[in-house]
Structure 1
Amino acid sequence: MMNRRTFLETASASACFTILPRHVLAGSGVVPPSDKITVAHIGTGTEGLREMPRLMAVPEVQIVAVCDPSKHAIGYRDWGTDDLLNELRTVLDKPEWMAGTEGTVPGGRDVAKNFVETYYATEQGGAFKGCSAYADFRELLDKEKDVDAVKIMTPDHLHGIISIACMKRGKHVIMHKPIANRLREAKLVIDTARETGVATHFMPWEANGSMDQVMAWINGGAIGDLREIHNWTNRPVWPQYTSVPTASTPVPEGFEWDLWLGPEAERPYSPDYTHMVFRGWYDFGGGSMADMGHYSLWTVFNALELGSPISVEPMLTHTCGLKNGIAYTVNNDFSFPTASTVRFKYPASGKRPAVDLVWYDGGMRPPAPELEMDKEEVPIEGMMFVGSKGKILAGFQLEDPHLMPQGSMPKDLVTPVRGRGQRGAVPSGMRQWIEAVRGGPQSPSSFLNAGPISEAVNLYAVALRTGKKLLYDGQSQKVTNVAEADKYLSREYRKGWDPRAL
């Protein structure tokens, strides 16, 4: 007898199999329940809730469980007081949804469960009560054995262990960036994806721009030999702390602090570690490059065949203080700097010569005197390709590339090259992931293709944390010149949290 999971895994065996829109299947306007890919949504903070409707809009997918250490909407931060609440109300077409909670940023598993059940009850009719809620992802995996896939929207330090535990149980995985916030843990995630063969979708793929036009100019000789890539962002847009929290703060009601810490060392609870601000801590986040570099650089890594860097050199801001009238520099190996510039050196590969990749954050930007000729300023975010004969300037995610100065653009090299085009209601990466879940090939957004970019963003953090230039051997995954850097390539797992034992 064929159950629903067996159907999903074998459906692609039919040569005529195709994924059909809602209105075609069953004549009822929806995909039959037996055809749905059931998903557990792990992580229901503000970003998790904001992304949730995009997944629920996919006809072939249904969320059946949510999971988060936080039960209630307490202590969440956002870009506006009621912005997210109003977004979710618009999705539901229910202006009175969660009436009385105005002024409180939504978040937590109770809000997520309510949203999921309200959405599906409206869509499918009746009092839909098909969404379970859990604090601990391990309990979810033990009890929801028939779930096909998970979507992971937790803080960075939980990505690796949760994805590994899920893949080892045969669950397909969708995950926000980064793969993990430790280099060797990220490798373990990718190795596990390869060994288990599950379908994985790394979400930054959907926001990557096209390198087609830039590569046409580079390959056509418009800027000579490529020498440098510069990429800069206005991040961070959250606090970067200059001291470790010391105030004694009660753990909020319904918040499982131990579960939120997960694999990281025990410490007293502080709201300055958690919602939104976790990205600024080396233990819990990945900094600005992990936040935005995946979006801007993954396509660049693929197009230029960037593998492992041979060196990583940081330049970063520091904090000073006074003690008894004597100035000192804060020894900060716990949080990312306010601003930094990090230079990666990549060896030659094939026809491509050796190239430097330079990342900037905190308002740092490269000089571009050529822009004066075009009466332009260096944008707050952007990307620049520097060659032996010229430069290409593009938006942060490769939007609207042009040669600098624009008058230098040869007419025979201005042929527009078609990129990915506009994304539809169901992004192409998600569509390819669905096909992979049902037995098709892995999609371009698979974890298997994210090794080099994951390595770079984790080495960025290690270089900043040590404050030293690192010489790196990609084959052994070791820093060869700074002994203390090695401990930052992995983490010491608390008892019960080693991903190899989950």
Structure 2
Amino acid sequence: MRGRKSDCVDAKKRITRRDLLGGAAAAAAFTIVPRHVLGGAGNTAPSEKVNVAIIGTGGQGIVNMKQLFNEPDARIAALCDINELSDYSMFYYGGTAGLKPAVELVRKQQGQACPTYRDYNKMLDSEDIDAVLIATPDHSHAVIALAAIAKGKHVYCEKPLCRTVYETRVVTEAARKAGVATQLGNFGHSSEDIRLACEWIWDGAIGDVHDVHAWTNTGARRWTSLTDRPKETPPVPAGFDWQRWLEPVPARPYHPDYAPVRWRAWWQFGSGTIGDFACHHLDPAFWALKLDQSTSFSVEASSYGTTDETCPAASLIYFNFPARAGMGPVRITWYEGGLMPPRPAQLEEGRSLGDNGILFVGTKGVIFGEGWSRSPRIIPESKMRAYRKPPKTLPRVKGHHRDWLNACRGKGRASNHFGYSGPLTEFTLMGNAALRAGKKLDFDWKNMKVTNVPDANKYVKPQYREGWNI
């Protein structure tokens, strides 16, 4: 992140606002006036709301904003994007996205428009902002998150946390040192289902897990034909600040194959299908198998369609973890672009694996789950019905955004805080390093270093344009 005088935190203002939200002393000082006098009967007082700024008002930014509308103590205080309006009708978001439709949604929901910005640093100078939600392309996650953390703002970031392992580590450490509330956007982590899967595995429901298979057959459909930089240089659409969108990576001419949506296909901007989906689908394995207790692992990959510029159309990625935390070695295989694991013999005839899912293979059985940490079941179903479920030992949460807002208010730590989801992101992104290196990589996780192929370390730490660094 470029050093700027404006990046300095105004400690007095920050402490005052955070004490108001999360500190007992400040809360006591502000209970002289009853809540209903300020907020209206049944409503949350304005002084008790978490003022959230949305950075990135594309499809996913608007999806998140609508989730926050459902929380009575959340207020959208500002919006920031470099794009006024784009047509998203061809993608799953539908409709339009950008600053214009986003601010109209705020006006409709909150009764008045909120301020809009194109420069997130200027926006972060507002003392009315307690927290930010980042839903920009992967390449800008790190610099935006670090700018927000430097100003003491709480951070919710869409997955993956960053585009590369190095960026992820830096952001994770910055958040830890600052003590801000954080949450990654893989919403399945807040579900009942992922907790059940962990508790069953820890209970020994399927014995010792030695293999995991996880897959998706969706993301790469958007970019299977993209292999090299487009030669055409069409004009930048009106209302789209292309140069600011590029920050902090090296410049190149605008093309619609890059933005507003297909950026995931390009190593310069995105992290491909595994970056898009693995933080969802591999989260149950990361948690249940305590992979964060490892200090090293190996990863190798094969793919179709990988180039120096673009992510693959299809790939197989193999992670090998040694024994750790009382658990034996485990091999984790990631499938994407139509590739699928072998059908387990335990799966009844007529049941489909589906386009997204996960399989835990143990010495005594198999657990099959859907994507996004959903619906874990021991297979066959007769074995699931016969299983005596253990007591529920993991804390439950009431929603992904709710969990983060509680943390912003000083009510504990969100379960998917960066201290957990940062290592989850690093683990998955090493798959991309193996794809690009074309070799098996031995990764010293603690020291963030590929030990057997030194040249592959260039895929661990990104290249920024001149004048930018973190």
Q: Structure 2 vs 1, CA of residues 227 and 23 (structure 1 numbering), >3 Å: closer, same or farther?
A: farther
User: Gaps (5+ residues) in structure 1?
Assistant: 85-104, 122-127, 319-330
Larger gyration radius, structure 1 or structure 2: 1
Q: Structure 2 vs 1, CA of residues 353 and 13 (structure 1 numbering), >3 Å: closer, same or farther?
A: farther
SS where residue 156 of structure 2 aligns?
A: strand
1:150-165 equivalences under 5 Å are: 150-165=132-147
Counterpart of 1:101 in structure 2 is none
Cα distance in 2 for partners of 1:420, 1:275 equals 39
Q: Structure 2 vs 1, CA of residues 244 and 77 (structure 1 numbering), >3 Å: closer, same or farther?
A: farther
Counterpart of 1:116 in structure 2 is 106
Q: Structure 2 vs 1, CA of residues 117 and 406 (structure 1 numbering), >3 Å: closer, same or farther?
A: closer
Counterpart of 1:87 in structure 2 is none
TM superposition shift of 1:443: 1.7
TM superposition shift of 1:228: 0.5
SS where residue 359 of structure 1 aligns?
A: strand
Cα RMSD between the aligned structures? 3.0
Q: Structure 2 vs 1, CA of residues 13 and 31 (structure 1 numbering), >3 Å: closer, same or farther?
A: same
Counterpart of 1:467 in structure 2 is 438
SS where residue 291 of structure 2 aligns?
A: coil
SS where residue 132 of structure 2 aligns?
A: strand
Cα distance in 2 for partners of 1:24, 1:415 equals 48
TM superposition shift of 1:386: 1.3
- Deviations 1:102-147, CA, capped at 9 Å, x for gaps: xxx41221222222123211xxxxxx24x111111122123x2331
1:87-102 equivalences under 5 Å are: none
- Match status 1:172 vs 2:154: yes
CA contact (8 A) 1:12 1:439 kept: no
TM superposition shift of 1:419: 9.4
Q: Structure 2 vs 1, CA of residues 160 and 166 (structure 1 numbering), >3 Å: closer, same or farther?
A: same
TM superposition shift of 1:184: 0.7
TM superposition shift of 1:265: 0.8
Counterpart of 2:454 in structure 1 is 483
Counterpart of 1:350 in structure 2 is 325
SS where residue 232 of structure 1 aligns?
A: strand
Counterpart of 1:41 in structure 2 is 54
Counterpart of 1:316 in structure 2 is 303
Question: What amino acid sits opposite 1:492 in the alignment?
Answer: Q
TM superposition shift of 1:379: 2.7
**Count of residues in correspondence between the two structures:** 449
1:127-276 equivalences under 5 Å are: 128-129=112-113, 131-142=114-125, 144-206=126-188, 209=191, 210-215=193-198, 217-219=200-202, 221-236=204-219, 237-240=221-224, 241-276=226-261
Q: Structure 2 vs 1, CA of residues 397 and 252 (structure 1 numbering), >3 Å: closer, same or farther?
A: closer
- Match status 1:379 vs 2:344: no
Q: Structure 2 vs 1, CA of residues 227 and 441 (structure 1 numbering), >3 Å: closer, same or farther?
A: same
SS where residue 273 of structure 2 aligns?
A: helix
Q: Structure 2 vs 1, CA of residues 353 and 139 (structure 1 numbering), >3 Å: closer, same or farther?
A: same
CA contact (8 A) 2:188 2:373 kept: no
CA contact (8 A) 2:282 2:358 kept: no
Question: What amino acid sits opposite 1:290 in the alignment?
Answer: G
SS where residue 481 of structure 1 aligns?
A: coil
CA contact (8 A) 2:303 2:435 kept: yes
Cα distance in 2 for partners of 1:431, 1:13 equals 22
TM superposition shift of 1:261: 0.6
1:277-316 equivalences under 5 Å are: 277-307=262-292, 308=294, 309-316=296-303
TM-score calculated relative to the size of structure 1: 0.81
Counterpart of 2:314 in structure 1 is 339
Counterpart of 1:437 in structure 2 is 408
TM superposition shift of 1:29: 3.6
Question: What amino acid sits opposite 1:118 in the alignment?
Answer: K
- Deviations 1:234-282, CA, capped at 9 Å, x for gaps: 1224113112111111111121111111111111111101122111111
Cα distance in 1 for partners of 2:41, 2:384 equals 56
Counterpart of 1:456 in structure 2 is 427
Cα distance in 1 for partners of 2:48, 2:151 equals 21
Cα distance in 1 for partners of 2:284, 2:30 equals 30
- Match status 1:79 vs 2:91: yes
SS where residue 249 of structure 2 aligns?
A: coil
Counterpart of 1:362 in structure 2 is 337
Counterpart of 2:387 in structure 1 is 413
Cα distance in 1 for partners of 2:201, 2:67 equals 36
Q: Structure 2 vs 1, CA of residues 473 and 177 (structure 1 numbering), >3 Å: closer, same or farther?
A: same
SS where residue 228 of structure 1 aligns?
A: strand
SS where residue 450 of structure 1 aligns?
A: helix
CA contact (8 A) 1:137 1:162 kept: yes
Cα distance in 2 for partners of 1:380, 1:368 equals 13
- Deviations 1:267-326, CA, capped at 9 Å, x for gaps: 1111101122111111111222221221222233122110255110102113xxxxxxxx
TM superposition shift of 1:207: 5.1
- Deviations 1:201-238, CA, capped at 9 Å, x for gaps: 22214455534544455455553321111111112241
TM superposition shift of 1:375: 4.3
Question: What amino acid sits opposite 2:91 in the alignment?
Answer: W
Q: Structure 2 vs 1, CA of residues 345 and 392 (structure 1 numbering), >3 Å: closer, same or farther?
A: same
Counterpart of 1:96 in structure 2 is none
Question: What amino acid sits opposite 1:259 in the alignment?
Answer: R
CA contact (8 A) 2:50 2:409 kept: no
Counterpart of 1:390 in structure 2 is 365
SS where residue 370 of structure 1 aligns?
A: coil
